[in-house]
Amino acid sequence: MTEETILANALLVLPGEVRCGSLCLRAGRIADIGNGAGVPPGAVDCGGDYLAPGLVELHTDNLERHIQPRPGVDWPHAAAILAHDAELASVGITTVFDAMRVGSIPTGLGRYGAYARGLANELWALREGDALRISHFLHLRAEVCSETLEAEMEAFGTGDRVGIVSLMDHTPGQRQFRDMAKLETYVKGKHGLDDAGFAAHVAQLKALRAANGDRHEAAAVAHAARYGAVLASHDDTTEEQVAVSEGHGIRLAEFPTTAEAARACHGRGIAVIMGAPNLIRGGSHSGNVAARELAEAGHLDILSSDYVPSALLYSAVLLGRLWGDMARGLATVTLGPARAAGLEDRGRIEAGARGDLVRFGLRGDVPAVRGVWSQGRRVG
């Protein structure tokens, strides 16, 4: 007989509304949805907790944090992947696009090497061995200001579950690094550079952008199409940059740095993703536009935990409070990102959808996760 789980007496977060009801998980899917607070024999009584679709995370550096928990420390990768997977499951994330950088600089002061292809191999080996709790895809962060982007992207193919490719340009003096004073403080602190060293670092990056940037950008766009991946921009700052993004076919803007850029994205049908820590902290740690400002203007569509996995559900609840609509708030971490990534089988509580769910109560505005299911199997 097919095993089934009935979750009853819950506040179901449905597309467009929250209502008291129950649902049945069977064969990895949501089989049935009922109304009311009744608890049938054998059902799990959720006691009035919220029951939402499993969270969909499009951009997180969390795997890299587990791989390198301290500067210069390379943690055993299988252990790091499993810890990352378990951490996400524990906070309600059931689908993740693991961010991996492609495009390296093996020469010069700030040199760093390639790692994504090898790490992806280890991730997929664990997946094939049924060792992972949740659903994983890749998010390749294509650094155009680099030396090796084309070769690194060539190493990936259609079987690698590359769901997102984002165009990254960290050339000093624009986008995220347009404030040179803040960049100088950050780089000197991280690498221990003096004035001459910082000047040499900036000169190297600008030279790389001049020599390779346009070619790398075109290659990244072409490889995204080859993978069948969604193309994203990163740190758009001006209307002109958004227009370039639209020309590339970009439909997802990660962390626009200004209200001007976010407004331009919406005008061109490009979904805006902002960081959950920005919303929770009340502003950007790097001085860029506040997520709350974009939410109040109606220019925020999707949230990302970025560097704090537990922030994803918390920020969605805060948006629900801000908008006076909990279903709308939760949609920024469920239905919104699922649709943006082209995943039509998840992100909503609906008969036939994947059995990905998170049960949580509230302590004030802070969610307390009490159960997580991935394809109908309890994983947290």
Helix runs in the chain, H state only: 62-67, 77-90, 116-128, 149-154, 180-191, 195-227, 239-248, 259-267, 276-281, 291-296, 311-323, 326-331, 335-340
| Residue 193 is assigned to a structural domain of this protein | yes
Question: Would you state the pLDDT for residue 105?
Answer: 84
Q: Does residue 360 form part of some domain?
A: no
Q: Is residue 367 part of a domain?
A: no
- The angle at the Cα of 57, spanning 123 to 125, to the nearest 5 degrees, equals 10
DSSP conformational letter for 307? T
Residue 71 in domain: yes
Residue 1 has a pLDDT of 47
Domain residues for the domain of 147 are 54-347
pLDDT, tens digit only, all 380 positions of the chain: 468 999 999 999 999 999 999 999 999 999 999 999 999 999 999 999 999 999 999 999 999 999 999 888 999 999 999 999 999 999 999 999 999 999 988 876 667 789 999 999 999 999 999 999 999 999 999 998 888 999 999 999 999 999 999 998 866 756 666 666 666 666 666 666 777 767 777 777 777 777 777 899 999 999 999 999 999 999 999 999 999 999 999 999 999 999 999 999 999 999 999 999 999 999 887 678 999 999 999 999 999 999 999 999 999 999 999 999 999 999 999 999 999 999 999 999 999 999 999 999 999 999 999 999 999 999 99
Residue 136, domain member (yes or no):
yes
Domain count, the chain: 1
Give the model's pLDDT for residue 111: 75
Could you tell me if 319 and 295 are in contact, meaning their C-beta atoms sit under 8 angstroms apart? yes
CATH of the domain at 235: 3.20.20.140
User: Residue 14 falls within a domain, yes or no?
Assistant: no
* 316-335 burial code (b ≥16 CB/10 A, e <16): bbbbbeebeebbbbbbbbbb
Residue 239 is assigned to a structural domain of this protein: yes
Q: How many CB atoms are located within 10 Å of the residue 119 CB? A: 19
The pLDDT of residue 192: 67
Q: What is the 3-state secondary structure (H, E, C) of 32-66?
A: EEEECCCCCCCCEECCCCEEEECEEEEEECHHHHH
Q: Is residue 321 part of a domain?
A: yes
